[in-house]
Structure 1
Amino acid sequence: MLVRLRFWCRHGSWRRGAFAWLLAIALACACSARLVAQDIPASTNGPAAKRIAEIRFRGASLASTDPLTEYLTVKVGDPFTRAAASASIKALFATGLFSDISAETDPAPNGDVVLTFALQYRYFIGDVNLNGRPKGAPSLRQLLNATKLELGHALTDTGIKQAITQMTGVMEDNGYYESSFTYTLKKHEDSRQAEVFFHLAPGPLARVGKIEVHGESGFTQEEVESITKIKPGAKVKASDATRALERLRKKYQKRDLLEAQVTLARQSYNHDSDTVDFIFTVQRGPVVKIDVEGAKLSRGKIKRYVPVYEENAADDDLLNEGTRNLRDYYQSEGYFDVKVNYSRNRTLDNQKLDIVYNVDAGERHSLQSVDVQGNKYFPKDTIRERLSVQTATMLLTHGKFSQAMLARDVAAITALYKTNGFQDVSVKADVEDNYRGKSGDLRIVFRIDEGEQSRVHTLTVIGNLAIPTAEFQPQLSLDEGQPYSEYAVAADRDAIISYYFNRGFPNMDMKITTLPYSGDPHSMDLTYEIHEGTRVFVDRVYVYGLHYTRPGVVAKRMHVHDGDPLSQLDMLDTQRRLYDLGIFSEANVAIQDPDGTAQRRNVIFQLDEARRWTFNYGVGFEFATGSSQGSSNTPNGTTGWSPRFSFELTRLNVFGRDHTFVIKARYGKLEQRGLVSYTAPRLFAKENWRLSLTGFYDKSADVLTFTSERAEGSIQAEQVISKTWTMLYRYSYRRVNVDPTTLQIDPALIPLYSQPTRIGMPGVTVIYDRRDDPIDAHKGMYTTADIGIASTRLGSEEDFSRILVQNSSYYQFGAKHWVFARSLRIGLESPYQNSTLVPLPERFYAGGGNSLRGYSINQAGPRDQFTGYPIGGNALFVNSLELRMPPPTLPFVDDNLSFVFFHDMGNVFDTVSHMWTGLGRLHQPTIAACSQKPADGSNPPPCDYGYLAQAVGLGIRYHTPVGPVRFDIGYAINPTRYPILNDNSTSSTTRVNVFFSIGQTF
């Protein structure tokens, strides 16, 4: 005897929610009962009186490790009943894995029955793509987003039809009214994922037909076409209607028709002519005049603060909002007692509406003091940090104050106290006029009544069977004896739920009970009751979309593995790590069938590889003192700017790995450079190692004394030891050639300094970084030590050693976050063995926006006495101090502009021993001799440059997302004097130097 129980449904025929479940169950029961009644006569007991000898599954995928028997309501040995079989079918269907389920019974050898469930798996949405898109709009992303097909969700015929309907709408918006779509599916039997490929036939692009305006528009047909910029016969664009509406509204606004209503009544397509007609409807409304009486206010500010101009309506809500905006504006200008109201006067024929805002500004005030009283738990500085009202300063002459700001400050202080257990806190703000007897001066006093602090008496966690309390206890903000607040309770709830969600409990729920202890409202007993629900595990992890990338590269980035508890955190972390590779434009992750009840779920990673070849170019400029401009070259250089051009060619995904090959070129007045590099992160399969191979050619004239050409190759390995420690290991080999025709030194020395030099130098750099923000640090420390040794045994023609150490520290102080920053840089070079000097291009040079701002670019240190040009030195000492002010609130730039006062001290010294001597000198020695013209034919003594040059100055910083834009003006206190024997004269470095750059100085 054969009995069939069948529960059948296609995707899209049932919906979420309680009603859908009840309907599905009712249909299943009715269908099952009907089928069984037909197969089994009522007079016989049939298989219902027998037991189940065996349960089988037909069509189940062997790739799945999900134990299907766990979902059944029957097991081997149970009596067979129709109701139990039907319930099992419903339970299996609820997992979301199957589109068709039926049950069959066959007789067993012992007279019992064999129950077989025939399963048909459903498929889920994988990659969605499209071909056939025409050039221009719409973009591929617009079309794919319109499909609403989500990765991992069930694939249904209804969903595909809706996707085609949505994409057809997008095509019509862009003028393609004859487009058609077909699709093909590529199914993956192992994962039950299906890739959807849409094929688009766009058809012809429609043209603009008629443009009509219904209603009293006040414009001729020609004027309408001119205003809307929609011309009959032009190609239809998606933005046509929207822009036309905006242009018409703006036109009416210019005529003061602020209540004009303009709508697109119809946008109809004519199939025969392949044209689109645009029909607009206009209700002009009255001429609206908005004026301010009692105070001066520009027309531009009226439009900014009265929202009637934006909303094209003049109702009471908008006019009242304008009242509040105008009040806040005048209060921000110091008129803290301002009163604003409005009146309306509409003519009987509704042709004109006059709106007048009456402003009684009152006396202009200045906020001189903001005080906090009654605070015991928090210091005043902690409270002041949260205030938006500001006292008057030199730049903010009246301070910042308004009723809205005052209300926000009261709310901020109240929230601060409530989050720390003061549930009964009361905060009031009193505004005192005529502060200290001076008319117009104000004082604000925030009076705080803290009340009694509530604390946790006991905290009990129950219901957590799978995860001990000790595991998530560190995540909680509350504990016995700690301040109690509703904010902290909500934070604990979020922390516990997140902890469970990330360990495979997606249905976890939590109930919180709070009771006063012994009737004391400030001592609370807390109970966290946890309902863990069913734990869900990862069945399989599938990765799609790899074409050039090696699978092993992706596998090493995975934090989600087969059999792991399903964790949203691990999925997002893996997604982030995949993006960090830099070779994927998209890395989407999803749970297959997120709404199902299966205890094992597949996790799908759908990757889209980025374009492997990219080309970038740029045009910029540099501005500074001391640059080489034109033919009038002098030892100090000139002030000016230079254009800079650059391009970059990048190849990603080299050899199927996250390796990068880059070709760069830069051309400017001072420097022309070409560079080729190959970068391999994660060297030795280690996250903390990185390998770089670099070769470049550089021709630079940033040192005015000479023009050098450098060809260099280097190999560098970077090791990140910890969050603060980094090591760089490198070997560089370069050949430096100095153009003898550009050497601005004693002609007798040109043969010596113009000789080509090969330098082979291994080196090590140690970096210690504890800055809070590498781009714009406010606190912390940054230290680097770079050591290199050039040796003939390592391919070098000269033997010398080099060390450069820099230490910078940052200290934030005061309630307004002033920053004191300091930096010390010391460099030492020394020839050894048979070498007697360090090649000219390898010496230290200083001066410019990133070192000594009392000098123009590379102008510090020793000079050639014959020409007066800088020749660098073997020792470097630079000490910089900066006081970085907090950004004031200024018109137009708000708080994005700040100021810096700086002091730079140091110099370049010819030898290391002369540096130690020069550190004790604050003035140039032998300055009198350096300032006198040498007699004709005389041989004056060498000029001594061994002293600490000093400069002070002012800097401006404009803060941007990529770092501050910097403008510095430096004034040299003790500039360098030097002789020029070549023309029997003397000169001095410039006192005032200007620099423009991006990023902080250090």
Structure 2
Amino acid sequence: MRYWLTIIGMLLVLPALLPGQTPAGAPPSSWAAAVVFEIDPPEFDQVDIATLERVAGIQTGTPLNARVFQNACKNLYQLGIFRKVAVYTLPAAEGQRVIFRLAAHPRLQRIELRHVRRFNVRTLMKELGLAKGELLTEAVLAAARDRLLELYREAGHLDATGEFRVLPKGHLQIEVAEGKRYRLMPVQVELLEGTLLPEVRRAVGRLSYQYLSQQLLERLVRDLRRSYHEAGYPAVRIERFESPGRLPASVQPVILLETGPPVAIRIDGGQMSPGDIRETLAIYRLGDISEFAEELSRSDLKTYLEGRGRVVTAVTSRREEEPDTGRILIVFQVETMPREKIPVVLTGNVSFTRQEIVEGAGLPLNVPHISAETADPLAGEVRALYTAAGWLDARVEWTAVSEGGHTTLQLEITEGERYRVGAFTLGDNFPHREEFARRLDGFRDQPYTTGLVERLRQTVIDFCSSRGYIVDRLVLRDQRADHRVDLTLEPELDGPYEVDNVVVISPGATVSREMNKLIRLQGGGPLDIQSVYQAESRLYGSGIFEDVSVTVPVVYGREQSRNVILKLVEAPRYTFGYGFGYLDFEGFRGLLEWTDNNFLGRTLSLGTLFRLSEKKILGQVSVNDQDLFWGRYPLTLSIYGLQEDRVSFKTKRFSVVGQSSIQTGRHTVWLFRLGFENITNYDIQEGLDPGEIERDEQPITLPSLAVSYVNDTRDNLMDATRGRQSTFTVMMAPKILGADTGFTKLYFQEQHNYRIGSHLVAALSLRMGWILNHSNAVDVPISEKFFAGGSSTLRAYETERAGPLDAVTNEPLGGNALIIGNAELRFPIYRLLHGALFYDVGNVFTDMSSVCWRDVAHIVGFGFRINTPVVPIRLDFGLSLKDIPDAKDNQFYITIGNPF
């Protein structure tokens, strides 16, 4: 309010104080001859002058009066970037020269600390909630100052003071006067009721004359409560407060203690350790022994036991009080029954297959027992599935069926007839009724499903939004008759509104053209609030901005118009990463990565990567454009050099690669790759004459085109428990593009993961590859052939040593055909430790014509997985069921990640 009073006062008083000026309340006959903005600081670059003129609403030729000036000041204030707005006029040759004097809030660029010993700049910014580029408004500075003093007081500096000074160029100086750090006097314990445990005296004695710390006092209360819980006092009540101490710079802590009655908990019919009882039951969690807490504890106990595989049919409780001691005994009686695997059988399901019902309704294959508790929820889920698909009269009834000594849970489904959409009725306030009625033709006679209702709601919202209306609420009424559903649409609307200006406030490095590609909003048309939400989503999704604030304030003087104001704060532009790993053949390896996430301010990502190990050196520079063609076809250009020591040869590779992708479904992606590579293979371990070796070690030019199809429905990319992944790649290196050796490379991989019961996971994989050589005279380069053997393919072979071997050197030659199948059964052992049993089959072959059963490898083995929060650490032992010539028939591998 004081801002508006300041503005009005300046409008009335300032013109009278300045000689030669025309009062702001000039007659309507006067008009603006020119508009000038004087901004402090001069380097202000958050919004351009043309945008400020549009927001103010005063341009050359605009009639001037007091209301015009008031509305202009209000609209400028609404931008949220100015702490002071002043306006005055000067006579001009034709009208009045309007001058706005604006004082902008600075943006945080740098923090300078003075006498701050407890924090560095980065930690303090995080604690205070400050970010580089943030507007330093009075509210932001006040909140940061309060938080700073709170941090110091929590650490015992009760007299600490802090001063925030905003210096030029966005520098913020923070100066702290810590004062003395207060100490704790001996803790005073006042026992209101009950018994004082010896542990209490020992715990409070340790705190005497230590520095004051709120965390220390909170830990004391937790320790006291735990001690009383362990001693059988779950309803203990502990309160603390601090008062001034007797000594200077000291605090006297006071603990008020009320232990409540002693309580013993006994569980009959279930096994729980005392620690689990204290952590699980609401009696301890709430510190309450009322009937309500006892009821919650019964539910907690049931949940706990069911989570450990018990079939709990009922949990009851009773209380017994010992008159002599006053102790209360609470006995929980748990009734259980043996866990069975009773199959669930479906009957009457015509429209859905069993697999569709299992996946759509989350139907288990079996249940531990048959009761209303287990069967009613299943019947309800199946009924909900049918209702959502349009079978509104569907009924699902369950029965226990026993035949031949076997019991099954039978869900009998009566589908009825499927409902369809009938007529539509639009509410009286529906805008553009005739135009929208035509859009409803595509909904009529369609099955009345939940998905259709959601699409219909979104269609109404999009239609109204595109015409400037804001849908506050959409009421959809349905009337059913003769398996038809007639719908009435009654939106509650606000508007219509027009967009006066779209104001983007962003002083970062991103250029305006790139921001406009993400925002895609323009002034002068209807306010499409859905487009505003989508713009906000695109800005966040770009990864360039860490904070996006969108406001749509009213334009004063034009009540049906709105300004769309977007305040953007860019995320940290540069990232640096490093890592270490281990691979069986490469050994230990290290990685360094540096990324510019907004290269040249054009939302491009420039990344550099360097990887080093005993066998491989890789350097790569890549540029990624996620917004090419409005984000539909992201493009990545990469240049990399690779030097690698393989088992039977060494290679140097220089590559220039371009890759794009198209998302054609929720789980489906097509990848397109165009590459140019120069490859030199040397030290090839083949028994060839010197002339052939010299020819094979000549540099190879390999331009290529590749198309890949990927469909991935796995629930976890690093450790999947369900879902599938299909990959098919065609790579062509034809001579017409300049390739020294023309060939086509096909590769296919299919992976499936199945959950068996609640603990087992079955993982299956099939890999097939085939290289078609278009030249009979020149073989495919050895670096482009298939190799197998190692921790992820055939786990009884050394790395890349499966398949054809050279008759002289006994080194792998690779092949033009690959067939490998893998099967794993994964199961938990103890906490993070899991186990696996696996079977690997297949091999690498010279070509498809040489594939035969006698050359197929068969491998069995077992392994352990340590499921860390990031990736599994894997230990596998594989044993070949056939002798491997001139090599061990077993291998042990330690590596990271699952094999497939």
Q: TM-score range by the shorter chain?
A: 0.7 to 0.9
Superposition deviation, residue 54 in structure 1: 7.0
Cα distance, 1:791–1:337 mapped onto 2, change above 3 Å: closer
Correspondence 1:480 to 2:444: yes
Q: Confirm or deny: 8 A CA contact 1:712 1:735 kept in the other structure.
A: yes
In the alignment, is residue 342 of structure 1 matched against residue 317 of structure 2? Answer: yes
> C-alpha separation between the residues in 2 aligned to 1:858 and 1:101?
73
In the alignment, which residue of structure 2 is the partner of 1:861? 803
- Distance of 1:406 and 1:205 partners within structure 2: 67
SS state at 1:862 partner: coil
What residue is the counterpart of 2:19 in the other structure?
Answer: none
Larger radius of gyration: 1
Give the distance between the partners of 2:811 and 2:493, measured in 1 at CA: 77
Question: 1:802: Cα distance to partner?
Answer: 5.3
Equivalent residue number for residue 224 of structure 2:
248
* One-letter code aligned to 1:879: I
Structure 1 Cα separation of the partners of residues 259 and 887 of structure 2: 73
Cα pair 2:73 2:86 within 8 Å, conserved: no
The correspondence for 2:590, drawn from 639, 646, 649, is: 646
Correspondence for 1:412: 381
Kept in 1, the 8 Å contact 2:370–2:409? The answer is no
For residues 403 and 211 of structure 1, the distance between their equivalents in structure 2, rounded to whole angstroms, comes to 60
CA distance in 1, matches of 2:653, 2:86: 74
CA separation in 2, counterparts of 1:215 and 1:778?
61
Is the CA contact 2:497–2:560 (under 8 Å) kept in the aligned structure 1?
no
Q: Is the alpha carbon distance of 1:289 and 1:840 closer, same or farther for their aligned partners in structure 2, counting shifts above 3 Å? A: same
Q: How does 1:587-666 map to 2 (within 5 A)?
A: 587-591=547-551, 593=553, 599-610=561-572, 612=574, 614-618=576-580, 620-622=581-583, 644-652=588-596, 658-666=604-612
Report the CA distance between 1:246 and its aligned residue: 2.8
2:709 is the counterpart of 1:769: yes
Q: Check the 8 A contact 1:256/1:289 in 2, yes or no.
A: yes
Contact 1:101/1:117 (<8 A) preserved: no
State the match for 1:713 in structure 2.
Answer: 654
Which range moves more in the overlay, 899-908 or 607-616?
Answer: 899-908
Matched to 2:197, the amino acid is G
Call closer, same or farther: CA 1:871–1:101 in 2, change over 3 Å.
closer
Q: Is the CA contact 1:206–1:276 (under 8 Å) kept in the aligned structure 2?
A: no
Q: 1:738·1:754 contact (CA, 8 Å) conserved in 2?
A: no
Q: Deviations over 1:322-351 (max 9, x none)?
A: 223434555677875733211223455876
Q: Distance in 2 between matches of 1:335 and 1:689?
A: 54
TM-superposed deviation, 1:773: 4.0
Q: CA deviation at 1:250?
A: 2.6
For 1:182, give the aligned amino acid.
F
Counterpart of 1:733 (choices 678, 681, 687) is 678
Preserved CA contact (<8 Å) 1:904 1:951: yes
Alpha-carbon contact 2:670-2:709 (below 8 Å) kept = yes
Give how far 1:948 is off: 4.3
Q: 1:842 to 1:1000 in 2, by over 3 A?
A: closer
What's the offset of the Cα at 1:884?
A: 7.6
Could you give the per-residue CA deviations for residues 683-715 of structure 1, whole angstroms, max 9, x where no partner exists? Answer: 9976543221213444x3x52x57x4x544322
1:458 equivalent among 409, 423, 437: 423
User: 3-state SS of the aligned residue for 1:65?
Assistant: helix
Q: 1:898·1:956 contact (CA, 8 Å) conserved in 2?
A: yes
Matches within 5 A, 1:571-586: 584=544, 586=546
Structure 2 residue aligned with 1:922: 853
Q: How does 1:516-531 map to 2 (within 5 A)?
A: 516=479, 523-529=485-491, 531=493
Letter aligned with residue 562 of structure 2: R
Aligned length, in residue pairs: 835
Counterpart selection for 1:823 from 764, 767, 778: 767
Per-residue Cα deviation, 1:818-855 (whole angstroms, up to 9, x for no partner): 9875331123669887x7x7777676532224444563
Question: 1:436 — aligned with what?
Answer: 403
Q: Distance in 1 between matches of 2:407 and 2:624?
A: 60
Alignment RMSD, CA only? 5.8
1:263 aligned onto 2:239: yes
* CA distance in structure 2 between the aligned counterparts of 1:954 and 1:855, rounded to whole angstroms: 15
The CA deviation at 1:766 is: 1.1
Which residue number corresponds to residue 512 of structure 1? 475
d(CA) in 2 for partners of 1:593, 1:424: 48
The answer to whether structure 1 residue 691 and structure 2 residue 637 are counterparts is: yes
Match of 1:537 among 494, 499, 506: 499
Cα 1:334–1:841, aligned 2, differ >3 Å: closer, same or farther?
closer
Residue 247 of structure 1 aligns to a residue whose secondary structure is helix
Report the AA paired with residue 617 of structure 1: G
Alignment-mate amino acid for residue 424 of structure 2: L
1:21-32 equivalent positions in 2, closer than 5 A: none
Alignment of 1:931-970 (within 5 A): 947-951=855-859
2:774 is aligned with 1:846: no
Residue 377 to residue 851, structure 1, CA distance change in 2 (3 Å):
closer
Identity over aligned pairs, percent: 15
Contact persistence 1:578–1:587 (CA under 8 A):
no
Matches of 2:416 and 2:388, distance apart in 1: 14
Cα distance, 1:461 vs. partner? 3.5
Correspondence for 1:65: 54
Q: What is the deviation of 1:294? A: 3.9
Once the two structures are TM-superposed, the CA of residue 533 in structure 1 deviates from its matched residue by: 0.7
User: What displacement does 1:508 show?
Assistant: 3.3
Structure 2 residue 169 is matched with structure 1 residue 169: no
1:218 aligns with 2:155: no
- Segments of 5+ residues of structure 2 without an aligned counterpart are 14-26, 38-49, 89-94
Q: Which runs of 5+ in 1 are unaligned?
A: 1-8, 15-27, 36-50, 105-113, 188-194, 393-397, 628-641, 910-914, 924-946, 978-986
Q: Which residue of 1 aligns with 2:343?
A: 369
Tell me if 1:998 matches 2:888: no
Where 2:816 maps in the other structure, the secondary structure is: strand
Does residue 161 of structure 2 align to residue 179 of structure 1? yes
The answer for the alignment partner of 1:190 in structure 2 is none
Larger relative contact order (Cα-Cα within 8 Å, sequence gap ≥ 6)? 1
Q: Does 1:139 align with 2:123?
A: yes
Per-residue CA deviations over 1:228-262 (Å, capped at 9, x if unaligned) read xx57444x656434433333333333333322223
Per the alignment, in what secondary structure is the counterpart of residue 817 of structure 2? strand
C-alpha deviations, 1:121-153, integer Å up to 9, x for none?
897897698553655489345544499x9989x
Q: Given residue 904 of structure 1, which amino acid in structure 2 is its aligned partner?
A: V
**Per-residue displacement from partner, 1:474-520 (whole Å, max 9, x unpaired)?**
8x9x933345578965774455336645x484743455363647x87
